[in-house]
Structures are given as structure tokens and as C-alpha cells.
Chain A
């Protein structure tokens, strides 16, 4: 009798857990703009990651069409100042830009989660030191830091990603810190602690999974931020260097031809804007979906 009721109880718990896992997606579906953004991003990523494989022209190839050629079937977006196929460069540039965004976001998430979770969980000296550093990073206008760091460290793709990540983790750390403070008070964490689980295990198995939804929201917004930052540092000539195309350095390069071939600047500009826009909409939608007040509406 008792056994059966415990079993029912466990099944009920399991169902609840399953439901919670999908609640984010279900709620997101109700937000049309955010859900559309999600699909749009899936398509864009598929295009820029698969497209370069299918498109026969390489981004560095000097085509026969000549410089600044108009739109034809062979070159759907024409050619640039050196006679390179703009469509191929948009595809490859998108791949690099989105990869920079994704990698910078992942680095930021790792740094931010470790710092935020440790500060919240261990408290005392660890908290004091880590949170002071976080506050300091928040108070420095981070573009000054990015600029100086890239000038002295060089502008290899790895450094660009690293420097963007080193300024992007702060917001994530703050969110994770707040959430960790909240979750570490719960009975199941105390129980794990009493059962003798190590701090690492408690954090990884009990605390971080609870914070995961908030981390996803921060991560989505972090990608948007990273893509914009990459384009801004490209404008100052400190981003990923040509001939490797990125939407940022294509935009920077297009400035000289703004009269003769305005489309060269419009394409990457619009591409950056709508991708960042979609990430922002998705991030906002996810945040709303996570908001406990959402249920009341």
C-alpha cells in the first residue's frame, strides 16, 4: 500500500519534471515574434554553414565578371571591388561572424557561470573577491578595454573571440550569482550537502541545472551582443582581418564604395541587423516565457 503510493508519487514527480522541461518551448510558441525568430535563426545558420559547401564559387576567387559587377544569375549579389563574388563572401562571412558570436557566447557562459556560481555558492572571501571583480568589469566602459586588449594582443580570430568573451561574461555572472543565492537555500541542495556531496557535485548536479533556463536567456542575448561588438571593432580595423570575410569587415570595406556600389554596404549591414534582431527577440521571448508572472497572464 505504502509502496504503491510512493511509486505513484515518484511517477507524478517525473511527469512534472518532464512538463517543466517543455514548458519553455510551449510558452515560447505563444510568442509569435520570438518563435518566428527561432525558425529564422535556424534557417540562417543552416544557410551559412551548408551554403558555402554547395555554392561553387570560393570567397577569395577573382571572377571573370570584373570589379563591382551588377546582379546576374552567376553572381546573385554581384561582385565586390576586387571582383570577388559577393554572394560567396556573404555566406562565408556569415559563417565566420556567427561562429565568432557562438564561440564568444560559449566562452562568456563558461566564465560567467563559474564565477557567478562560485561567488554565490561559497560566499565569504570568494564572493567578495569575485563580485568586486565583476563590479569592476561592469564599471569599465568595456569598449575601452576591448580596444586596448586587441591592439596589444593582436587581431587573430582566437583573440577577437577571447577579448569579446572576456568582456561579455559580466552580465551572465551577475544573473547566475543571483540565481545561485536563491537555489542554494532549497531543501534538496541542503539534503545533498548533508549527504556529503562535494561542492563541485552540488553545483553541477543540483544548482546549475536549475539555473540553466536563465543561462540560456543570457546566452541568447550574449550572441547578439558579440556579433554587434565584432562589427564595431571591425569598423575600427581591429576585428578579424581581411581577406577572411566577416560581415563586419565587409561593411568596413564597403565604405569606400558607398557611392559606386551602395549595395556592398547594405547587404552585410542588413544581415547583421536582422540576425542580431532575431537573437534579441528570441532572448526577450525566452525571458518572458521564464517569468513566473507569465503563468498568471
Chain B
């Protein structure tokens, strides 16, 4: 699992790859947290290369979403692979975190 970040206009794009499960969920959390600034107002989670996420990983996404909400920021996810999209849909996470087909449409929706 790796998290890379890049800024696109006023949005922070976090791109995660690999697998996130109970064994590396806290690394995943640290990796994302270290990329987010207090001044960020829009964060896009690009999950194109994330092949698997367990419930422990989803919890980290929730924690980050909650932190962002506290600082008045919005979050969206984009480009989910089929298995990850399925996890988001079954668990109902797609109702809390808007899912977009592409990075552009996620960035557009947040800005």
C-alpha cells in the first residue's frame, strides 16, 4: 500500500494503491494524514489502483472524512476498481462519500 499526493488547483488528490486491510490500516491512516494540511478544503481520494479494502480500511476512510468535516473540507472518491466499489456500495459508504467515475469529475464536484 502506498499513498501519493498531488495538488490540482485547490484540491488535494490522494492516490492510494495496493491492499488495505487490518494489518496496514494504521499505516494507511498515517500516510493520508501526513499529506493533508489544515488549510485543505477539498480532498479527492483516487482509488483506481487500490485492489482491496477491508472494513478496517473503510474505518480509516471514515476517520479521515470526519477530520476533514471538522476543518470544513469536503471529500470525494473516484475511479474505484470493481471490488472496491462493491465494498463501498454494500457497506453503504457511497452514501457518505460521493463516488465519481474520474478524478476530473470529482475535482469539479468539489470546487
- A complexed with B: no
